[in-house]
């Protein structure tokens, strides 16, 4: 049995680890010597802190092809951004189109609105490989459809969705297109103009390499949201209600400036390395992993067969062993951190036939290596051997 030496972290779809060194350094430096309340006072330090946040907005805007950086609103995380977008867009109710691939951060707010009698909802199915057909979206859009909301890639199978095609379909209607980029922001190209995205929710702590407690929402010019969290914004204190211009309209309260300073450094890292370079490395890792695990007869792989159509995420099961057990064995006998279970996305497991036990998910990141992938494949082989001859 391999004894755990160094931890192999294969849970980047949950949160990336480690972060680029510059992220750690920047946050340390910022909280020690620059962390005044951004934009709240006229003194040099506060002005400088505001500038740090503005630079982060600019960098993120650049990454997503956003022309006006003020349309990037910082949030607590991707869930916060999704809630802001879903509830803000549907204040007056209406019809919503979504998919069965969604994470609970989309499923739950929509289910609650349905339950409250505020919206009606059509959920389109997906293929066996976990991909939504744009024609199904087109068929589901009605005159009263206000919002089409879907993930850019499944957090279970990694399957990438044809968001550009769907964006174009939605753009022909009066509905808004909200994309959950939890699995793609930072590791897969996103262009809000070319993809015709009206609302883009993204986490800071995943592929953007920021710390937890950061995230954001892009709010496109077609969209009008209702206010979310009302409070202090620094400027325009005389206004009795939330100032109407973005980002202040949606950014009440002191922001996580330390986190945003770190996030800014994460985005800078991506822009420097080059997103195609990051994608290429992750593509190689996930292809190798898919090939290695696919060669073990007792392993069932889920999602698209070709890694070209996935993020760096792979879902699988090993015959005769509960996913939670494989997870625990990998953790303690092999030092591999992976996530087992339903991954907060119960519906896709129901349609894949893996509900309620779920499956195991490997999600290597930019800092993982080929050797680590080989170790993980070898670990699954060893586990399989021990369970077939107990």
Partner 1 sequence: MNNPDISRYHRQYLLPQIGEEGQRKISSSRVVVLGCGALGSILANHLARAGAGWMRIVDRDFVELNNLQRQVLFDEDDIRRNLPKAIAAKEKVEKINSSITVEALVVDVNYANIESLIEGTDLVMDGMDNFETRFVINDACVKNGLPWIYGGCIGTHGITMTIIPGKTPCLRCVFESAPPPELSPTCDTAGVLGPAVNIIASLQATEAIKFLSGNIQALNKTLYTFDAWTHEAKALKIENLHQKINCPTCGQKNFEYLKGEKGSRSASLCGRNAVQISRDEPLNLDFKDLAAKLKRVGEVTYNVFLLKFKTGEYEITLFPDGRAIIQGTHDIAQARTLYSKYVSV
In the complex, the residues that contact partner 1 under the rule CB under 8 A are: 1, 322, 324-325, 328-329, 332-333, 340-344, 346, 349, 355-358, 383, 386-387, 390
Which pair of tokens denotes residue 281? 């490395």
Concatenated DSSP letters for 135-177?
HHHHHH--TTEEEEEEESB-TTT-BB--HHHHHHHHHTSS-EE
Comparison of 197 and 340: residue with beta carbon closer to partner 1: 340
How far apart are CB 328 and partner 1 at their closest, in Å? 5
Residue 76: how many other CB atoms lie within 10 Å: 20
Asked whether 375 and 340 are in contact (CB, 8 A), the reply is no
How far apart are CB 185 and partner 1 at their closest, in Å? 23
Which pair of tokens denotes residue 23? 């992220």
Residues recorded for the chain = 390
Whose CA is closest to 243, among 255, 254, 232?
232
With the CA atoms of 29, 33, 35 and 37 taken in that order, what torsion angle do they form, in degrees rounded to the nearest 10?
A: -160
CA-to-CA distance for 196 and 143, rounded, in angstroms? 19
Helix (H) / strand (E) element for 203: namely strand 199-203
CA-to-CA distance for 308 and 312, rounded, in angstroms? 10
226: Cα separation from own chain's centroid = 23
How far apart are CB 350 and partner 1 at their closest, in Å? 11
How far apart are CB 300 and partner 1 at their closest, in Å? 17
Q: What are phi and psi of 201, to 5 degrees?
A: -100, 135
Comparison of 69 and 358: residue with beta carbon closer to partner 1: 358
How far apart are CB 361 and partner 1 at their closest, in Å? 11
How far apart are CB 19 and partner 1 at their closest, in Å? 24
How far apart are CB 323 and partner 1 at their closest, in Å? 8
Cα angle 351-353-357, degrees, rounded to a multiple of 5: 120
Comparison of 234 and 341: residue with beta carbon closer to partner 1: 341
Asked whether 334 and 2 are in contact (CB, 8 A), the reply is yes
Give the CA diameter of the chain: 75
Comparison of 42 and 356: residue with beta carbon closer to partner 1: 356
Comparison of 129 and 322: residue with beta carbon closer to partner 1: 322
How far apart are CB 324 and partner 1 at their closest, in Å? 6
Comparison of 135 and 328: residue with beta carbon closer to partner 1: 328
Whose CA is closest to 299, among 317, 313, 314?
317
Comparison of 283 and 387: residue with beta carbon closer to partner 1: 387
How far apart are CB 299 and partner 1 at their closest, in Å? 16
CB hemisphere CA count around 56 (13 angstroms): 33
CA-to-CA distance for 111 and 95, rounded, in angstroms? 13
Comparison of 106 and 330: residue with beta carbon closer to partner 1: 330
Helix (H) / strand (E) element for 359: namely strand 359-362
Helix (H) / strand (E) element for 51: namely helix 44-64
Comparison of 280 and 386: residue with beta carbon closer to partner 1: 386
How far apart are CB 333 and partner 1 at their closest, in Å? 6
Comparison of 187 and 342: residue with beta carbon closer to partner 1: 342
Q: What are phi and psi of 211, to 5 degrees?
A: -85, 165
């Amino acid at each position: 049995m391999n004894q755990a030496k160094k931890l192999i972290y294969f849970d980047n779809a949950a949160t990336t680890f480690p972060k680029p060194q510059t992220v750690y350094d920047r946050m340390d430096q910022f909280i020690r010597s620059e962390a005044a309340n951004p934009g709240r006072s006229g003194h040099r330090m506060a002005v400088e802190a505001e500038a740090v946040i503005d630079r982060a907005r600019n960098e993120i805007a650049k990454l997503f092809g956003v022309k006006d950086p003020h349309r990037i609103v910082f949030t607590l995380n991707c869930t916060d951004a999704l809630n802001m977008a879903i509830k803000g867009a549907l204040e007056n109710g209406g019809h919503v189109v979504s998919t069965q691939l969604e994470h609970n951060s989309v499923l739950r707010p929509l289910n609650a609105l349905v339950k409250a009698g505020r919206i009606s909802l059509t959920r389109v199915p997906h293929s066996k490989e976990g991909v939504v057909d744009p024609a199904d979206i087109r068929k589901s859009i009605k005159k009263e459809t206000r919002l089409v909301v879907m993930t850019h890639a499944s957090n279970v199978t990694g399957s990438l969705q044809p968001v550009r095609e769907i964006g174009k379909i939605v753009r022909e209607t009066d509905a808004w297109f909200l994309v959950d980029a939890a699995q793609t922001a930072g590791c897969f190209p996103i262009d809000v103009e070319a993809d015709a995205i009206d609302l883009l929710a993204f986490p800071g702590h995943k592929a953007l390499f920021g710390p937890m407690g950061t995230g954001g929402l892009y709010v496109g010019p077609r969209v009008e949201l209702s206010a979310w969290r009302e409070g202090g914004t620094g400027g325009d204190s005389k206004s009795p209600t939330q100032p109407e211009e973005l980002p202040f309209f949606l950014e009440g309260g002191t922001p996580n400036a330390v986190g945003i300073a770190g996030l800014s450094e994460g985005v800078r890292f991506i822009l420097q390395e080059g997103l195609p370079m990051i994608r290429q490395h992750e593509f190689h890792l996930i292809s190798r992993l898919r090939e290695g695990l696919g060669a073990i007869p007792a392993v069932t792989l889920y999602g698209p067969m070709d890694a070209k159509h996935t993020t760096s995420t792979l879902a699988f099961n090993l015959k005769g062993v509960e996913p939670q057990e494989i997870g625990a064995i990998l953790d303690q006998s092999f030092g591999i951190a992976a996530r087992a279970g339903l991954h907060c996305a119960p519906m896709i497991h129901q349609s894949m036939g893996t509900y309620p036990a779920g499956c195991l998910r490997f999600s290597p990141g930019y800092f993982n290596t080929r050797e680590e992938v080989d170790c993980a494949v070898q670990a699954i082989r060893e586990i399989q051997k021990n369970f077939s001859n107990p």
